[in-house]
Amino acid sequence: MRKVSIDGDGYVDEAHIVDLVQVGLMSTKNVIARGETGTGKTYLFHWLCGRASEQPSPNQAPPDYAVELWEPYELNVPQLSKFSCHEEQGYVDIVAQDILADGETKAKKQILLQWLEPTVDDKTPKLLLVDEANFLSPSVAGFFHSLCDWQAGIWVPELNEFVRRSPLHWLALCINPFEKAIYQGTKQMNSALAGRFLTIDIGYMSKSSEIKFLKARFPNADKQLIDRLCEFAGNTRVAYRQDLLNVPATPRNLVQWFDIMEKGKFSLTDIEPVVLGVWSPDQQKAVKGLLEGQEIGKVFKSVGVDQ
Ligand SMILES: Nc1ncnc2c1ncn2[C@@H]1O[C@H](COP(=O)(O)OP(=O)(O)OP(=O)(O)O)[C@@H](O)[C@H]1O
Ligand SMILES: [Mg+2]
């Protein structure tokens, strides 16, 4: 078992997800990370590929556990390519597009073909991260189908070539099945494609880890305020799962709030419009109650919703 590293910068890995994802990618080549918004799905892959650039720490040496992570498998950090899905995406956005260059028509390789180009050597994998894959359009899902079945490649008419995928071309999809925006392609992906992937469920870090994570990230912040806001975030997640709120407070929100409090020397009262701004106006009264530390049952009764 690997130690949980909570230094405010690394990936907090209580459930040994990194091992599962890493071994999953090595064995099946296709992994789905599935979890609620802000559980760190995207960040996990950025971090795995040495690209956790959302939280740059230029003067810091790589943390020990990152070295420890890769050594047992003698792997280099995968090269990362990434795109976010939307429902209108199709062949020309993802695979290839005809362009006019010097009076001639040429095929411009899009992200999928760029990823399918050979790896730099015979041991460094290339990871294609398909983010927000709940919004994968049926036509793009079709390309992945052919990449993940026995064909292991796609036919590209512009190149007059069947472009093959090697065992070092790894594919990862991030999915939030709890996303409440309506999406018609989910069912299709579930039945036809999801079976070819290893699906790994990712949850929020525990309250105690979230507290430690924030304390490490914001060492000058008021410790009681960290406890209080983590408790609040946990309650919004419970209310979200019960359909009482339209979104939960995520670790991303918590980081943003402490960041602006620190940078602007603001109190929680000063930033209340930012905190409440996460929710729609009709939900803010209830959220304010939770922020003040009231119980979920009481809060939603007081705004006219029985649990
Ligand atoms: N386990 C974790 N370890 C370290 N940081 C985390 C963890 N979980 C969340 N975070 C923090 O939350 C931020 C947002 O996470 P991320 O964007 O990866 O979530 P997500 O699951 O991809 O959400 P969405 O479904 O909305 O895209 C990260 O940049 C990181 O700061
Ligand atoms: Mg994400």
- pLDDT per residue as tens digits for the range 41-65: 998 888 888 755 444 333 333 333 3
Tell me, what's the pLDDT at 302? 73
Is residue 146 within 8 Å of 136, Cβ to Cβ? no
Q: Tokens 């995968």 map to which residue? A: 78
Least Cα distance to 226 among 8, 36, 16 occurs for: 8
Q: What phi, psi does 98 have (nearest 5°)?
A: -75, 130
pLDDT in tens, 115-167: 999 998 888 889 999 999 988 888 888 889 889 988 899 999 988 999 999 99
Using the predicted structure, report yes or no on whether residue 4 has a pLDDT greater than 60: no
- Cβ(54) – ligand 1 distance below 6 Å: yes
Give the model's pLDDT for residue 307. Answer: 52
Does the structure show a pLDDT above 60 at 9?
Answer: no
Q: Where are the domains of the chain?
A: 17-201, 207-301
- CA dihedral over 129, 134, 12, 7, signed as positive or negative: positive
Task: Using alpha carbons, select from 13, 77, 24, 68 the residue that is nearest to residue 196.
Answer: 24
* Phi/psi at 153 (5° precision): 180, 180
Residue to mutate, 39, 175, 205, ligand 1, most ligand atoms under 8 Å from C-beta? 39
Q: Are strands 30-34 and 169-175 parallel, antiparallel or unpaired?
A: parallel
Helix (H, G, I), strand (E, B) or coil at 132: coil
Query: Does 17-201 carry CATH code 3.40.640.10?
Result: no
For the cut 60, the answer to whether the pLDDT of residue 223 exceeds it is: yes
Give me the mean pLDDT over the 168-184 stretch.
79
State in Å: Cα 132 to ligand 2 middle: 6
Taking the centre of ligand 1 as the mean of its atom positions, its distance from the CA of residue 113, in whole angstroms, is: 28
Q: Which of 95, 88, 111, 107 is nearest to 154 (CA)?
A: 95
**Which residue owns the Cα nearest ligand 1 atom 4?**
11
Taking CA atoms only, the protein residue closest to ligand 1 atom 27 is 37
Ligand 1: does its nearest atom lie under 6 Å from the Cβ of 66? Answer: no
Is the pLDDT confidence value at 276 over 70?
yes
253: Cβ below 6 Å to ligand 1? no
Q: What whole-number distance in Å separates Cα of residue 83 and Cα of residue 200?
A: 20
Q: How far is CA 30 from CA 22, 126, 167, in A?
A: 11, 12, 10
State yes or no: pLDDT of 3 exceeds 50.
Answer: no
What's the mean pLDDT when you consider all of the chain?
Answer: 83
Strand residue runs (E) in 112-212:
126-131, 153-156, 161-164, 169-175, 198-201
- Dist. CA 207 → ligand 2 center (Å): 20
Q: What is the pLDDT of residue 49?
A: 81
Q: What does the pLDDT read at residue 261?
A: 97
CA of 238 to the centre of ligand 1 (A): 18
| DSSP per residue, 231-283 | HHHHHHHHHHHTTSSSS---HHHHHHHHHHHHHHT--TTTTHHHHHTTS-GGG
Write down the pLDDT at residue 188.
52
Q: Which residues surround ligand 2, an ion (CB under 5 A)?
A: 42
Closest Cα to atom 1 of ligand 1: 12
| 157 Cα: distance to centroid of ligand 2 (angstroms) | 32
Compute, in angstroms, the gap from residue 283 CA to the centroid of ligand 2: 24
